[in-house]
Structure 1
Amino acid sequence: MRPEIRCCHRNPKTGFSAVRLLAGLVCWCLLAAGCAPGHDLPDLPAAAPQAYHLGPGDVVRVITFGEDATTGEFRINDSGALALPLIGDVHATGLTTDALAARIGEALQHDNLLKAPSVVAEVVSYRPIFVLGEVSKPGQYAYQPGMTVVTAVAVAGGFTYRAVQDYASVVRTLDGVAVEGKATRQTFLQPGDVVTVFERWF
């Protein structure tokens, strides 16, 4: 007896449906990726290497040789000034520590407190950064030199399972204007930065 031979015929409708489904999934993934939160933010402007500029919240140690009253640790207030004994408020925001020391020396000399003042200023603690969004412990944290987006997230307890982990929003004050930009995990932060980690959609 001649053996029966059966041919398997592919259902063209089934194959076409599978292709359409696959194409639809690919398009959906591309669309979702293109619409991910924060994807359209401009890149955060790179901070040019420069001396640190003081701001409200920084604590500065001032050493005035020959005048103990103006020697100590002082916090820059919300008005951007140091309140120093004998000479009163000294504007500090936007200055480097060297420029601040020179300004304090000028004030001491102007008020005839010292003829040739010698003043040194240094930062004791920086104003904080803020880490918000999809991190385990959102909040305010102390800034440390060399801190990046990913180290700030680590300090805030790490990413949640919903977090976009490749980039984040950073709001930074530049020349008195708040600027928002997209920052990578390795972007260096500055004191006062506000980092927001986005929630992914899928």
Structure 2
Amino acid sequence: MGIQSRPFSALVLVSCLLLASCANDTVGVASKADQEALIQKAAVAAPNIQAGDKIRVTVFGEDRLTGEYQVDPAGFVSLPLAGTVKAAGLSKQQMEKTLAVKFSGEYLRDPKVTVDLASFRPFYILGEVNKPGEYDYKSGLNIVSALAVAGGTTYRASTSNIDIQHVGESGFKKYPISSNIPVLPGDLIRVPMRYF
């Protein structure tokens, strides 16, 4: 009997360790200040370019240079004649000036360059949702609309809190499920299971 109970107790121990490690993924509860900072960050009309974004570059009168370009995971973008350029962290205006300098000289005289964000990094949602996965980010996205995009929550989902990890953060923070909590490009959203 003692021999047969060892595999069961080992299974219980492994299960407890896995549950404990999952619980440690959450950094803590987002304070009111965290929530306000997130809302203000989302309200910024023109976010800086980030890795994973796709930019649309238009060079007036130069169709061969005009097009959409993907910013690689390291934050660089490769363009004809300009070569590889650091894009992550730059505003739209800063990127326009950088490209104008790169294109001018022996290639073009006084180039007129515009840069727009063609698409943002996707956001990811996992946990107790009907369709977990990667989804295209759209401006104005909030927690409630992100849950709707993922097919809604399962019957086991928490109805009060959600975990979010923003790009550059080391772990998740708990936020209330509310339409005033925005989702940012690249966010990792986890819908936890409720406790019965």
TM-score, scaled relative to structure 1: 0.74
User: How many angstroms does 1:95 deviate by?
Assistant: 1.3
Partner of 1:152: 146
Partner of 1:58: 53
Map 1:1-202 → 2, pairs under 5 A:
40-43=28-31, 44-45=34-35, 46-47=37-38, 48=40, 49-50=43-44, 51-109=46-104, 111-173=105-167, 176-178=168-170, 180-184=172-176, 185-186=178-179, 187-202=181-196
User: How many angstroms does 1:125 deviate by?
Assistant: 1.2
Distance 2:127 2:120 in 1: 23
Q: What SS is found at the alignment partner of 2:64?
A: helix
Q: What SS is found at the alignment partner of 1:191?
A: coil
Distance 2:47 2:86 in 1: 16
Distance 1:178 1:116 in 2: 44
Distance 1:179 1:103 in 2: 34
| Aligned-residue CA RMSD (Å) | 2.2
**Cα contact 2:129–2:157 (8 A) shared by 1:** yes
Distance 1:179 1:97 in 2: 29
| Structure 2: tracts of 5 or more residues without a match | 1-24
> What one-letter code is carried by the residue in structure 2 that aligns with 1:201?
Y
**Cα contact 1:132–1:195 (8 A) shared by 2:** yes
Distance 2:122 2:102 in 1: 29
Distance 1:190 1:182 in 2: 15
User: How many angstroms does 1:40 deviate by?
Assistant: 4.7
User: How many angstroms does 1:118 deviate by?
Assistant: 0.8
Partner of 2:17: none
Distance 1:68 1:195 in 2: 40
User: How many angstroms does 1:113 deviate by?
Assistant: 1.4
**Cα contact 1:136–1:156 (8 A) shared by 2:** yes
Deviations 1:118-146 (A, max 9, x none): 10011111110000111011110000000
Distance 1:69 1:76 in 2: 19
> What one-letter code is carried by the residue in structure 1 that aligns with 2:73?
D
Q: What SS is found at the alignment partner of 2:81?
A: coil
> What one-letter code is carried by the residue in structure 1 that aligns with 2:173?
G
| Structure 1: tracts of 5 or more residues without a match | 1-36
TM-score, scaled relative to structure 2: 0.76
User: How many angstroms does 1:62 deviate by?
Assistant: 0.5
Deviations 1:17-40 (A, max 9, x none): xxxxxxxxxxxxxxxxxxxx9695
Q: Percent identity?
A: 35
